[in-house]
Amino acid sequence: MIEIVFLGTGGGRFATITQKLRTGGIRILSDELNLNIHLDPGPGALIYSLEAGLNPKELNGIIVSHSHIDHMNDAAVLIEAMTEGGTKKHGLLAASHSVLYGNEICDKAISNYHIKLPEKVIEAKVGSTFTINDINVKVCRAVHSDPETVGFKFETPKFGALAYLPDSEYYEDLNEFLNGSRLLILSVLRPSEKPWKGHMSTDDAVKIISEVHPEMAVITHLGTLMIIKGPDSEASFIQKSTGVMTRAAKDGMRINFGEKIFLKTLTNKNEDQ
């Protein structure tokens, strides 16, 4: 069984600076696979990990999709935790070129000192694959203001694939990468009829989910307009439009991903896919 913990479900500059929704990113856990990954550790990732009872010193992987503060702010401090304050070469850091080295638009997100601390550092290039324990992680293109933004598809040996797409516009052939994903996690910043260049809206999510048709879809990385409109109603619209069970992530929400997919909210009510 794999557990996915949403330590933050907010995104964009205004949701980030107000913390109307947290921006701590996603933790992916499995005792069976010896897996403890933090995905896109934005502001608050360290604090929210501790609040959730998730010891950051137990991390063995940190994955960062691009060099924007709501996705990478706490990466360095989590690297320090993962490597016991830099005293032990341990764990994997996988990140886009922009995060590791910067580009013409974005400064590098992690210092040279911190990049040298993990046991293994991988530049996540579009079309490449890397492994962490028994998980194959495939890297896909995203269309965003950081031109080197990437998404990830996690292929598990027993339970199939789950995919995460960070900030990105919809583009042709995206479904070719995402196809076969049982669980699809999309960063849907804007509600329906409120598009914003370089980001997904509810309408884009409908297109993607209709083409991929996963068992379950989750929308996260919700911006201020999405919060005002109501993420649950937007998720319901997506579900009615696609026929795919779709949920808006909640801060602290957990998903169990195995032979079946179970969603657990803070009210401790399970939903069985």
> pLDDT tens, 166-214?
999 999 999 999 999 999 999 999 999 998 999 999 999 999 999 999 9
CATH topology of domain 2-272: Metallo-beta-lactamase; Chain A (3.60.15)
What pLDDT is attached to residue 176?
95
Residue 247, φ and ψ in degrees, nearest 5: -130, 145
- Residue ranges of domains in the chain: 2-272
Residue 73 and residue 40 in contact, taking contact as beta carbons nearer than 8 Å: no
Beta bridge pairs of residue 150 = 141
What pLDDT is attached to residue 268?
45
What pLDDT is attached to residue 145?
97
Q: List the chain pLDDT tens, one digit each, 273 residues.
A: 999 999 999 999 999 999 999 999 999 999 999 999 999 999 999 999 999 999 999 999 999 999 999 999 999 999 999 999 999 999 999 999 999 999 999 999 999 999 999 999 999 999 999 999 889 999 999 999 999 999 999 999 999 999 999 999 999 999 999 999 999 999 999 999 998 999 999 999 999 999 999 999 999 999 999 999 999 999 999 999 999 999 999 999 999 999 999 997 554 445 554
DSSP secondary structure string for all residues of 155-209: EETTTEEEEEE-S----TTHHHHHTTEEEEEEEEEE-TT---TTSEEHHHHHHHH
Q: Is the dihedral of CA 53, 57, 63, 69 positive or negative?
A: positive
The pair of structure tokens assigned to 150 is: 């990437």
Q: Which amino acid is at 38?
A: H
Give the integer Cα–Cα distance in Å for 57 and 32: 18
Number of other residues whose CB lies within 10 A of the CB of residue 11: 27
What pLDDT is attached to residue 134?
87
pLDDT digits (tens, 9 = 90+) for 234-252: 999 999 999 999 999 999 9
